[in-house]
């Protein structure tokens, strides 16, 4: 964080930086960052909004744009997202659209934002009709992770990010998975975060616009979104994705794609992270939610099916088969 100005100078040369952050993160790290930027010679403005997903909406988005316009921010200036995925997503979308696009930088402060949302250039805001329904693909100039920011995270928010980290192990990397199985929440943050970023960056480089390989990152998410929305978002994203991964892995075993020992191993790791392996919702409820998933294309849903740790496939599945697959995973 203290060296942000130096890193930024390597990728662009703004005269003014606008730090966009939320009401939890800015009091913790805002001044450290602002001082670092000022001492590198940048003029600094800050825009802080109320923390939480409910702020990731059109109202906050317009307020950010009006703020930028009132400060006469131009395309040679820079936005800096300082916070979790909510700050990153809305700042990225503001950057993508203000003056038809100005540069931005991500400084993620949650585990989820470090390993997932800050990498890959997906930006978005929510509509009343659903999450992330308006957005753009727009890459940041650089992503800076300061691991010390994780020290102030609540255990629940940290745990949510752990579900995504376990997902990367299941998808791509048995060595990463073994490390998590062995060390649980005391995993090496530097190794694990760097590895997850490397894996995600590699996928995005090959499929920036989510037409193929990038869809694998949805492992556990189709059923997970179902659990989240059925609970009216009382169940967190990480908890829902954890259960979604376990359910789809159990289903994969029942259709002969995967060995039951893989399911048992995954459940053991999830339990060690105090993450759930199942849900109380019925297959009917989850099926309804899976059908409203925006990734549905035509009459098939692309399910991500584990075969073994580090090896998953994209399985286009006719909608009328999805119900029985979910049922098999419960």
Ligand X SMILES: NC(=O)c1ccc[n+]([C@@H]2O[C@H](COP(=O)([O-])OP(=O)(O)OC[C@H]3O[C@@H](n4cnc5c(N)ncnc54)[C@H](O)[C@@H]3O)[C@@H](O)[C@H]2O)c1
The closest alpha carbon to 201, from 242, 172, 234, 163, belongs to 172
Stretch that binds ligand X, among 62-70, 146-154, 178-186, 291-299 (CB under 6 A): 146-154
CB of 324 to ligand X, least distance (A): 29
Give the footprint of ligand X on residues 35-74 (CB under 6 A).
51-53, 56
Q: Say which residues have a Cβ less than 8 Å from residue 209's Cβ, sequence separation at least 6.
A: 137
Stretch that binds ligand X, among 116-124, 169-177, 274-282, 297-305 (CB under 6 A): 116-124
CB of 195 to ligand X, least distance (A): 17
The nearer residue to ligand X, 166 or 262, going by C-beta atoms, is 166
CB of 114 to ligand X, least distance (A): 9
Helix axes 237-254, 221-230, angle to 10 degrees: 130
The nearer residue to ligand X, 122 or 195, going by C-beta atoms, is 122
Stretch that binds ligand X, among 96-104, 112-120, 187-195, 276-284 (CB under 6 A): 112-120
173 touching ligand X, by CB under 6 A? no
132 touching ligand X, by CB under 6 A? yes
Residue with tokens 């693909």: 137
Q: How many helices (H) and strands (E) does the chain have?
A: 14, 8
Give the footprint of ligand X on residues 305-324 (CB under 6 A).
none
How many alpha carbons lie under 13 Å from residue 321 in its C-beta half-sphere? Answer: 11
Stretch that binds ligand X, among 8-16, 62-70, 84-92, 222-230 (CB under 6 A): 84-92
User: Applying CB under 6 A, which of residues 5, 85, 169, 306 lies at the interface with ligand X?
Assistant: 85
Strand, coil or helix: 233: coil
The closest alpha carbon to 161, from 193, 205, 120, 137, belongs to 193
90 touching ligand X, by CB under 6 A? no
Stretch that binds ligand X, among 24-32, 245-253, 273-281, 283-291 (CB under 6 A): 24-32
Compute the distance between CA of residue 126 and CA of residue 260 in angstroms, rounded to an integer. 38
The nearer residue to ligand X, 89 or 173, going by C-beta atoms, is 89
User: Applying CB under 6 A, which of residues 79, 87, 258, 270 lies at the interface with ligand X?
Assistant: 87
Give the footprint of ligand X on residues 262-291 (CB under 6 A).
none
User: Applying CB under 6 A, which of residues 8, 22, 140, 249 lies at the interface with ligand X?
Assistant: 22
Residue with tokens 């998933």: 293
How many alpha carbons lie under 13 Å from residue 64 in its C-beta half-sphere? Answer: 33
The vertex-258 CA angle with 221 and 207, nearest 5°, equals 45
To the nearest 10°, report the CA torsion of 294, 295, 298, 303.
Answer: -130
24 touching ligand X, by CB under 6 A? yes
What is the token pair recorded at 193? 């975060």
110 touching ligand X, by CB under 6 A? yes
What is the token pair recorded at 242? 């954890």
CB of 41 to ligand X, least distance (A): 27
Strand, coil or helix: 51: coil
Compute the distance between CA of residue 176 and CA of residue 112 in angstroms, rounded to an integer. 16
Chain contacts with ligand X (rule: CB under 6 A): 22, 24-25, 28, 51-53, 56, 83-87, 89, 109-110, 112-113, 116-117, 120, 122, 131-132, 149, 152-153, 157, 160
């Amino acid at each position: 964080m203290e060296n942000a100005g130096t890193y930024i100078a390597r990728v662009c040369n703004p005269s003014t930086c606008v730090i966009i952050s939320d009401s939890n993160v800015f009091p913790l790290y805002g001044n450290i960052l602002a001082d670092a930027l000022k001492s590198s010679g940048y003029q600094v403005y800050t825009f802080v909004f109320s923390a939480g997903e409910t702020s990731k909406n059109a109202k906050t988005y317009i307020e950010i744009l009006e703020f930028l316009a009132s400060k006469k921010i131009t395309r040679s200036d820079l936005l800096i997202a300082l916070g979790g995925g909510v700050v990153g997503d809305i700042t990225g979308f503001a950057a993508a659209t203000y003056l038809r696009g100005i540069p931005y930088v991500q400084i993620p402060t949650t585990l989820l934002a470090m390993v997932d949302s800050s990498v890959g250039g997906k930006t978005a805001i929510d509509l009343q009709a659903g999450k992330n329904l308006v957005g753009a693909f727009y890459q940041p100039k650089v992503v800076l992770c300061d691991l010390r920011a994780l020290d102030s995270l609540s255990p629940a928010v940290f745990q949510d990010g752990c579900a995504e980290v376990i997902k990367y192990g299941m998808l791509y990397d048995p060595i990463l998975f073994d490390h998590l199985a062995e060390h649980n929440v005391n995993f090496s943050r530097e190794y694990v975060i760097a590895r997850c970023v490397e894996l995600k960056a590699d996928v995005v480089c090959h499929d920036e616009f989510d037409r193929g390989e990038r869809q694998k990152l949805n492992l556990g998410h189709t059923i997970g979104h179902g659990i989240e929305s059925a609970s009216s978002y009382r169940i967190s994203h990480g908890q829902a994705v954890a259960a979604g991964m376990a359910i789809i892995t159990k289903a994969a075993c029942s259709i002969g794609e995967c060995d039951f020992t893989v399911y048992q191993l995954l459940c053991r790791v999830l339990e060690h992270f105090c993450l759930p392996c199942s849900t109380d919702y019925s297959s009917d409820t989850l099926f309804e939610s899976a059908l409203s998933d925006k990734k549905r294309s035509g009459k098939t849903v692309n399910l991500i099916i584990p075969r073994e740790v580090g090896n998953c496939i994209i399985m286009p599945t006719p909608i009328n088969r999805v119900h029985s697959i979910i049922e098999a995973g419960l």
